[in-house]
Structures are given as structure tokens and as C-alpha cells.
Amino acid sequence: MSEELKHRTSHIINIKSPSISIPNTPKDTDSIVLVSPSTIVHASFDYSVHEKEDKNNENNKSNKTEEDKYELTTKSESESEITSPNDELWNLEYNDKPINYIVGKLIGQGSYGKVYYGINQDNNQIMAIKQVDIKNKMMVDSLSAEINLLRDLNHENIVLYYGCEFKKTFNVFLEYVSGGSVASMLIRFGKFGESLAKSLTSQILSGLEYLHQKKIIHRDIKGANILVDEDGIAKISDFGISKKNIYENAYKKQTRMSLKGTVYWMAPEVVNGKGYSAKVDIWSVGCCVLEMLTGTHPWINFNDVQPVLYKLCTRNRPELPESLGSVARDFIDKSLSIDPEVRPTASELLKHQFVVEQDEDFNYHDYYDEAVAKENEEVLKEEAENEKNLDDDWIDDVDDIDDYFDESAMDDDSMIGKDNYLDEE
């Protein structure tokens, strides 16, 4: 292994399945270690190399860089227990108007908490209520960052924030999106046609363009975090690991950035430990389009994240299937450019042929109705097949029962003198 590769992979230690742990981080590292390869990876980066470079730079020697103001917390600080609603999180002045609400059925749940259906009793507005059981400061930091970002956002393709409160759990009130996520739709209906993929991609990019103009890097764009309402409107959700770039231009690389995101949708520069910009979201968009058109996550040939991380460290990208159309392939090719400087911005991708040339005859309601009808047909077919298999099994059982009877015992001579209902008086 080359020295350069050793350097790029040195911050990934003791990768295990099904979880990732990164222990024994050096004293001069930023440590945020939360473990979940199937969802989000948080890791630590060794910044000693950057510090040595800074020492050789006279300009940085006398003055702290702008990024020094944004240093990450250490693991010990992040995992300190939160025991009282009077601690840091609850003292934040959100100035949110109290919401009088009713909690309904469970919609979904994850590693951080649960999401419930809810209704605002004052205006009958339907909401999604995200309930989080606060356990440590890391969760406080994550929620605080998410709320502080969400409360200033207002875009059709981003989930709206209504407010928050603390009772027994920390509750965040969000826009309810009835259609579920892109990921759940793929599980239910299978891969998307190009018309639907184009429509959703255009909307995702529109939301990202808005975020990037506000210097926000989402860092976890994937099918599971793109919600779709009953009219086919896409909404970017889950800002738990999002971050504001310290520079005015979101596409300017920020050196001190932690390894966060979902591995299968993660850009190579996130893994290499030398910093990154909002271009990581563009890579994730390319992976998301690949996900929609194939029905599976990128890197489908790898069931474990360890080889995927190695591939990313060595500047590789997911293979593209031959079945992709030429325009879709070109869009994904550009989005998955290894060099982030070459990778387009969200605004530039909105001008790509794959996005511009929308199917004029496409209607989301018709597409959805046809998908549901096909799903129902498959369910009925499966039920009929199961019923047939049950009937066949029953017939086989009857045949087996016959084997227990000795036909020779049933002849006339053998029945003479026996007490049976066929004997005549």
C-alpha cells in the first residue's frame, strides 16, 4: 500500500460489521463516533497534518484561521449526560409559539427517535411529530443544529419546520408529507421510470440550490431522506447532520470537516480527510438518481460498507448499469466526477438535458395509480398462487394418508365376523 493511501485511510480504524467503531483516536483529532453503516457514519479525522502545514505558513502562525472558530467537540464532551430540561438545549431561545396538538399513530422510527402523525388543534393542520429521547450532548448538538437550520428555511422542496417543545421527550413539529420517501416507494413499486426520476431530480436540485445559496451542506442526500407528497412534490428532509459552510460560497472547500453521511451515497472527498464543500451533495444526487433508476442503492455489489469505504479512499465510483439511457448516464457521470472541482453545482445541473427535457405527458397521479394497480394485481396473483399451493399440499396429504391403509385388510374375507356397520343382521 502506498504512503499516500495509508494517509488517506489512516483515520478509518477497526471497521466492523454490522457496526463501525473508531477507537483509539489520537489526542489531536476531532472525535465524533456514532456507529451505523446502514444509515449514518460519524467518524474522526486526524488534523495533525493540517496543523503542521499551518505551522509552516507564517500567515496562519500568528492568526487563527476562520475555521478554528468551528472546531468540533470531543467525544467526551459529546457523550456527557443530559439529565435536566434546564441544561443547554432547553435554554436555547427558539421563541416558538406553543402548539396545541394531538399525537396520532406511529409513522416510523430510527436510531434517534420516533415520528408520529399529529394534528394542530388550533388550525387542524396535519403534522409529523419527531420525538427524541435525549441521552447525551451529542444528541443535543445534533438537534440544535437541525432546528437552527430548519427554522430559517422556506422552500417548496424542503420540509417545513413548525416549532419544537420539551416535555418527557423533545418534540419537533414538521410538515407532514403523505406519500412517504423515495426509498419506501422503491421498495413498494420497484425502480422508477425516467419520467418520474426526471421530475423528482429537478425538484431535489431546486431544493439543494436553495440550501447551497444559504451556505448549507445537507451531507445526507439519499432516497430515504427525500419525501414525496400525494401530488408528486419532493421534499428534502432530515437535517440532523447538515452544516453551514463558513465561507460565503458553499462550494469552497472547508478543511475541518468530519466524516458524516451514509456510506453508499458518500463522496470520496468525505472519506479522504482533507475537507470538502457542498459538492458532496452533488455526488449524493448522482447516487440518488442511480438509486431511482435501478431500484437499489449504489455499490450494490457490496453488502458491507468496509469495501465501499476502501473504494472511496482509492477514488472510485459506483458502476453504472448498461440499461441506463444516454442522457441519464451523462447526468450521473457528471454528478459522480471524482474531482469535486470538476463536479457541477446544483444550478448547473438544473440546466442539464436530463432535467430540462421533462416528459410533457407525465402525470404523477396517473403514474401512482398505475403503480398501485400493478401492485394490487401482483398481490392477488401471489394470493392465488399461495391458495393453489395450499390445495396441492392438502391433496398430497390425502395421498399420504392412503399409504397408512393396507388394502389387503379391506377384502371381503378379512371383514367376515368383524363388528362393522356393513354387517347385516
Q: Is 252 marked as a binding-site residue?
A: no
How many Å is the Cα radius of gyration of the chain?
29
339 catalytic per annotation: no
> What's at 290, amino acid-wise?
L
Angle of CA points 101, 142, 345, to nearest 5°? 105
Catalytic one among 220, 333, 406, 412?
220
| Distance from C-alpha of 272 to C-alpha of 233, rounded to nearest angstrom | 35
Instruction: Give the 3-state secondary structure of the chain.
Output: CCHHHHHHHCCCCCECCCCECCCCCCCCEECCCECCCCCCEECCEECHHHHHHHHCCHHHHHCCCHHHHHCCCCHHHHCCECCCCCCHHHHCCCCCCCCCEEEEEEEEECCCEEEEEEEECCCCEEEEEEEECCCEHHHHHHHHHHHHHHCCCCCCCECCEEEEEECCCEEEEEECCCCCEHHHHHHHHCCCCHHHHHHHHHHHHHHHHHHHHCCEECCCCCHHHEEECCCCCEEECCCCCCEECCCCCCCCCECCCCCEECHHHCCHHHHCCCCECCHHHHHHHHHHHHHHHHCCCCCCCCCCHHHHHHHHHCCCCCCCCCCCCHHHHHHHHHHCCCCCCCCCCHHHHCCCHHHHCCCCCCCHHHHHHHHHHHHHHHHHHHHHHHHHHHHHHHHHHHHHHHCCCCHHHHCHHHHCCCCCCCCCC
* Exposure b/e, 315-330, CB count within 10 A at least 16 = b: eebbebeeebeebbbe
Chain centroid to CA 415: 74
Give CA–CA dist 199/194, Å, rounded: 8
Annotation: binding site:
130
Annotation: binding site for ATP:
130
Active site residues: 220
